[in-house]
């Protein structure tokens, strides 16, 4: 080995060369270690941030839905549920006299043919949550009592069939008054006939069927609909509704 080769060997493998090599290795190790520590601190910092954020962002419970209120709104959306309609023609005679000193000197007669209609059903807007019971897929609901929702004379189809003031025309000229009286009497007869025909009971039965179908469509497997008997004064009419 020549002198030059020997000097090169000393530089590479002598004490100084080995120390320099170890220095480079340590420097590289420190750099890698610093990188790993930095990554660990970053991950730990992310966890700490999440923990601190959770302290100022309390967990919220899942929202709850009042199923009874939902059912009430679904049913009340139908509002007045007309489930029975009764129609009838009534012939009503009316008359009024002209008197003089207590004696009848003339009579006016009016014959009125009226077509009337009576609607009965359930006012679902009066349904309250205490009338609804729900358990799983089973629902029990009690409907309000049936009532007359509408009653009227169809003036477009009704008419005065005969108006007569007598042979000499001495009867009073009171056609509007007699017609109004005839309409009142006709409406009363039609409502009475509808009640005799059990229009409120029919309204109850059909309302039960309609609400059962509505709730079954909404997804309930077991539906029980209860009805109430109509009040005693449900089949009365004080004044005509034209």
Co-location of 86 and 118 in the same domain: yes
Is 237 part of a structural domain of the chain? no
Q: What is the dihedral of CA 9, 12, 15, 21, to 10 degrees?
A: -170
Mean pLDDT of the chain: 76
Number of separate helices (H) and strands (E) present in the chain: 5, 7
pLDDT of 5 > 80? The answer is no
Co-location of 214 and 157 in the same domain: yes
Co-location of 97 and 164 in the same domain: yes
DSSP character for 219? T
pLDDT value at position 79? 61
Mean pLDDT calculated for residue range 156-177: 92
Q: Which domain holds residue 114?
A: 67-226
Co-location of 51 and 78 in the same domain: no
Q: How far apart are CA 41 and CA 43, in angstroms?
A: 5
Is 236 part of a structural domain of the chain? no
Co-location of 137 and 74 in the same domain: yes
pLDDT value at position 224? 92
Task: Look up residue 220 and give its two tokens.
Answer: 């309930």
Residue 19: burial class (beta carbons within 10 Å; 0-12, 13-18, 19+): exposed
Is 232 part of a structural domain of the chain? no
Mean pLDDT calculated for residue range 185-201: 94
For 5, phi and psi rounded to 5 degrees?
-65, -35
If one compares 53 and 205, the residue with the highest pLDDT of the two is: 205
Co-location of 19 and 119 in the same domain: no
DSSP character for 71? H
Is 241 part of a structural domain of the chain? no
pLDDT value at position 73? 60
Is 181 part of a structural domain of the chain? yes
Co-location of 87 and 50 in the same domain: no
- Comparing CA positions, the residue from 141, 30, 154, 39 lying closest to residue 85 is 154
pLDDT value at position 94? 96
Is 101 part of a structural domain of the chain? yes
Co-location of 44 and 86 in the same domain: no
pLDDT value at position 3? 52
Calculate helix-pair angle for 175-196, 199-217, nearest 10 degrees.
60
Is 90 part of a structural domain of the chain? yes
Co-location of 47 and 76 in the same domain: no
CA distances from 7 to 1, 18, 144, 223 (A): 10, 15, 114, 104
DSSP character for 155? T
* Least confident among 65-74, 100-109, 213-222: 65-74
Q: How far apart are CA 111 and CA 92, in angstroms?
A: 6
Looking only at the bridges linking them, the beta strands covering 138-142 and 222-226 are: parallel
Co-location of 75 and 181 in the same domain: yes
Is 158 part of a structural domain of the chain? yes
pLDDT value at position 17? 52
Mean pLDDT calculated for residue range 181-189: 94
Calculate helix-pair angle for 15-56, 3-13, nearest 10 degrees.
20
Mean pLDDT calculated for residue range 108-132: 90
Co-location of 74 and 162 in the same domain: yes
Number of domains forming the structure of the chain: 2
Co-location of 201 and 99 in the same domain: yes
């Amino acid at each position: 080995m020549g002198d030059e080769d020997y000097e090169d060997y000393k530089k590479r493998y002598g004490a100084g060369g080995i120390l320099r090599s170890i220095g480079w290795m340590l420097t590289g190790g420190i750099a890698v270690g610093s990188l790993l520590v930095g990554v660990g601190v970053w991950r730990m910092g992310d966890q700490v941030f999440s923990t601190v954020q959770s302290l100022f962002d309390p967990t919220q419970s899942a929202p709850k839905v009042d199923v009874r209120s939902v059912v009430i709104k679904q049913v009340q959306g139908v509002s007045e549920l007309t489930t029975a309609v009764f129609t009838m023609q009534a012939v009503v005679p009316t008359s009024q006299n002209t008197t003089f000193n207590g004696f009848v000197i003339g009579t006016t007669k009016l014959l009125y043919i009226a077509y009337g209609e009576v609607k009965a059903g359930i006012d679902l807007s009066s349904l309250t949550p205490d009338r609804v019971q729900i358990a799983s897929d089973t629902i029990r609901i009690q409907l309000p009592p049936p009532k007359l929702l509408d009653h009227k004379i169809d003036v477009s189809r009704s008419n005065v069939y005969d108006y007569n003031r007598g042979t000499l025309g001495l009867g009073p000229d009171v056609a509007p008054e007699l017609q109004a009286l005839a309409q009142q009497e006709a409406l009363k007869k039609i409502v009475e006939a509808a009640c005799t025909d059990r229009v409120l009971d029919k309204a109850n039965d059909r309302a039960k069927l309609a609400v059962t179908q509505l709730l079954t469509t909404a997804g309930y497997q077991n539906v029980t609909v209860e009805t109430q008997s109509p009040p005693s004064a449900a089949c009365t009419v004080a004044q005509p509704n034209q």
